[in-house]
């Protein structure tokens, strides 16, 4: 089978773009009040459709149980609001993390549980794509 030069060029051009989109993945968020039951990220850049997941965390900075999530589109997502599914108190630390939409049984349904592979965390160069905030 012979690949046309145009297909080869498009394939080679797409690979760096895909890698670049994952390299730019990020979460921007600030400490915020949570009395309204929502946590927001100012900006999230995702390399593919997925989820902004709110984990509990602490000074050790390990992701803990999930307390909220919101869908993400590939690319820039502005003012992403995740409804909290558990009570969060002022002073609680939260980790807002990008998760994929990969490996689950259903598309568009958040299926991750702590430690699972379904809809799991996105890593860029081995690092989680996340921001940590303190609830006010």
Average pLDDT over residues 72-86: 98
Q: How far apart are CA 21 and CA 33, in angstroms?
A: 31
Q: How far is CA 64 from CA 54, 60, 61, 67, 71, in A?
A: 9, 10, 9, 9, 19
Is the predicted pLDDT of residue 87 greater than 50, yes or no?
yes
Which H/E stretch holds residue 6? helix 5-23
Mean of all residue pLDDT scores within the chain = 87
Write down the pLDDT at residue 23. Answer: 54
In 21-128, where do the E strands start and end? 26-28, 38-46, 50-57, 66-72, 75-84, 93-100, 123-124, 127-128
- pLDDT bucket at 21, cuts 50 / 70 / 90: very low
Residue 72, domain extent: 5-134
């Amino acid at each position: 089978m012979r690949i046309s030069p145009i297909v080869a060029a498009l394939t080679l051009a797409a690979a760096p773009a895909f890698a670049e989109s994952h390299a730019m993945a990020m979460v921007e968020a600030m400490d915020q009040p949570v009395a309204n039951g929502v946590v927001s990220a100012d900006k999230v850049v995702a390399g593919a459709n997925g989820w902004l997941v709110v984990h509990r965390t602490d000074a050790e900075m390990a992701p803990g149980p999930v307390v909220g999530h919101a869908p993400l589109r590939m690319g820039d997502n502005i003012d992403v609001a995740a409804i909290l599914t558990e009570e969060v108190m002022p002073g609680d630390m939260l980790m807002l993390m990008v998760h994929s939409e990969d490996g689950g049984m259903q598309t568009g349904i958040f299926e991750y549980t702590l430690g699972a592979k379904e809809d799991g965390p996105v890593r860029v160069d081995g690092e989680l794509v996340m921001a940590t905030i303190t609830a006010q």
